[in-house]
C-alpha cells in the first residue's frame, strides 16, 4: 500500500524550496524525524535551510499557524527559539500537495543528564517560555489530558489488534488500573493550563557555545507547566530531588512555578508511555515505522510494556517529589 509521503521525493523537496525564491545547490539530507519529514537543503552561497514537510491529515492549517504564531511570539520576547522563516508575510507554504515550512539551521547538543549547572539554565529558559505561554490560551491546539493521551491511546491499541492475544487480558487490566489511578491524582491536584512546548525532552533543548535554544514546537499544546519540566530529571529519587531544585530555582527567576503540580509528574509519565505505544500503532501504515521499530509487534515488546505499566503503578503510589 502506498503512503502520502511516498511521493515526497528529493526533487519535490528541492522544487518546494526553490518555489520560494531560494537557489539550491541540489544537496538534500534527510534528518531524523518520523512524525513529519525534515530535510537539510543546501543553498547556493548561503547557509543550508531546514525544510519541514508536515504529515498530511495530522494538523489543520489553523493548528499549524498557531504553532508558528507561538514560536514567533516567543522570538519577539527574546526567548531563544528556532522560528520558521517568513516569506511574503507567510510561514506555511504548499507545494505538490504537501504543506511545509522553512527554518534556519541551528546546530547544538542535548543537555547532559543530571548536569546541575545545565539544569539551572534550562530552568531559566523554560521559565521564560512559560511566562509567554501563560499570557493567553491556544484556540486551536489540543490540551494534554487523560482522555486523549490515556483512554484514546488505550482504545487505539485494543481496537487495532496490536497486542498479542495471549497478552491482551494482562495488558488491558494493568492499563485500565493505571488510568484509574492517573484520573484520581489529576482530580485532586491543582494545576493551571498554559501554552507549552508539549514534547520537551532534552533533545529539543539544545546548546552550543554555552547558548541554549528551543527547537521543534510541533507538539505545542495546552497543559500543566510541569509537563515541560519532568523529562529533565533522571536517576534515583535523591538525584532527581537535587535536579528539581536547580531546575525550579532557574525557572522561578522568570515565572512562578506552582509546586502543587509536582504530584502530576508520574501521571504524566504514565500518559506518555501509553501515548507512545499508540503513536506507533497509528503510524504503522507509514513504511518508515515498521522499518525503524520492527520490535513493536513482537510479544516481547508487549511483555515489557506490561511490566513497565506495573512499575508505573508502583511509582504512582510513592510520595511525589517535593521542593525544600
Q: Assign residue 314 a region: left if phi > 0, alpha if psi is -120 to 50, beta otherwise?
A: alpha
Q: Kindly give the interhelix angle for 265-282 and 152-159, rounded to the nearest 10 degrees.
A: 40
| Cα–Cα distance for residue pair 12/18, rounded to 1 Å | 10
Contact indicator for 232, 203 with CB cutoff of 8 Å: no
Q: Which residues pair with 206 in a beta bridge?
A: 213
- Does residue 216 have a known ligand-binding role? yes
Q: Are 257 and 225 in contact (CB under 8 A)?
A: yes
Q: Are 35 and 58 in contact (CB under 8 A)?
A: yes
Question: Quick check: 201 and 81 in contact, CB under 8 A?
Answer: no
For 22, other C-beta atoms within 10 Å of its C-beta total 18
Q: Which of 15, 76, 88, 199 is catalytic?
A: 199
Residue of 6, 88, 147, 216 marked active site? 216
What is d(CA 112, CA 202) in angstroms, rounded to the nearest whole number? 8
256 is in an annotated binding site: no
User: DSSP states of 271-295 as a string?
Assistant: HHHHHHHHHHHHTTTSTHHHHH-TT
In the annotation, is 216 catalytic? yes
Contacts of 230 (CB under 8 A, 6+ apart): 265, 268, 269
Establish whether 117 is a catalytic residue. no
Give the three-class secondary structure for 262.
helix
Chain mean position to CA 163 = 25
Report how far residue 311's alpha carbon sits from residue 124's, in angstroms, rounded to the nearest whole number. 32
| Cβ-based neighbour number of residue 58 at 10 Å | 14
Q: Supply the residues annotated as catalytic.
A: 199, 216
* Numbered residues of the known binding site: 204, 216
* Numbered residues of the known binding site for Mg(2+): 204, 216
Amino acid at each position: 500500500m502506498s503512503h502520502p509521503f511516498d511521493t515526497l521525493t528529493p526533487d519535490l523537496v528541492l522544487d518546494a524550496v526553490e518555489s520560494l525564491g531560494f537557489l539550491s545547490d541540489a544537496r538534500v539530507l534527510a534528518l531524523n524525524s518520523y512524525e513529519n519529514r525534515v530535510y537539510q537543503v543546501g543553498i547556493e552561497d548561503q547557509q543550508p535551510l531546514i525544510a519541514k514537510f508536515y504529515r498530511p491529515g495530522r494538523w489543520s492549517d489553523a493548528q499549524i499557524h498557531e504553532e508558528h504564531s507561538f514560536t514567533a511570539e516567543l522570538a519577539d520576547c527574546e526567548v531563544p527559539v528556532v522560528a520558521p522563516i517568513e516569506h511574503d508575510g507567510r510561514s506555511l507554504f504548499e507545494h505538490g500537495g504537501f504543506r511545509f515550512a522553512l527554518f534556519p539551521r541551528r546546530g547544538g547538543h542535548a543537555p547532559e543528564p543530571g548536569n546541575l549547572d545545565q539544569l539551572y539554565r534550562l530552568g531559566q529558559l523554560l521559565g521564560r517560555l512559560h511566562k509567554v505561554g501563560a499570557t493567553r490560551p491556544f484556540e486551536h491546539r489540543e490540551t494534554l489530558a487523560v482522555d486523549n493521551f490515556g483512554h484514546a491511546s488505550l482504545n487505539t491499541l485494543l481496537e487495532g489488534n496490536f497486542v498479542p492475544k495471549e497478552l491482551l487480558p494482562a495488558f488491558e487490566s494493568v492499563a485500565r488500573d493505571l488510568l484509574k489511578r492517573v484520573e484520581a491524582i489529576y482530580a485532586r491536584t491543582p494545576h493551571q493550563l498554559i501554552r507549552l512546548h508539549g514534547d520537551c525532552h532534552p533533545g529539543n533543548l539544545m546548546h552550543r557555545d554555552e547558548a541554549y535554544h528551543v527547537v521543534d514546537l510541533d507538539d505545542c499544546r495546552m497543559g500543566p507547566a510541569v509537563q515541560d519540566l519532568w523529562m529533565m530529571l533522571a536517576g534515583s529519587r535523591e538525584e532527581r530531588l537535587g535536579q528539581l531544585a536547580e531546575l525550579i530555582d532557574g525557572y522561578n527567576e522568570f515565572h512562578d512555578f506552582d509546586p502543587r503540580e509536582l504530584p502530576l509528574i508520574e501521571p504524566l509519565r504514565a500518559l506518555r508511555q501509553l501515548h507512545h505505544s499508540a503513536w506507533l500503532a497509528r503510524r504503522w501504515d507509514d513504511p518508515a515505522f515498521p522499518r525503524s521499530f520492527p520490535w513493536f509487534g513482537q510479544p516481547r515488546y508487549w511483555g515489557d510494556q506490561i511490566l513497565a505499566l506495573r512499575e508505573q503503578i508502583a511509582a504512582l503510589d510513592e510520595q511525589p517529589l517535593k521542593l525544600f
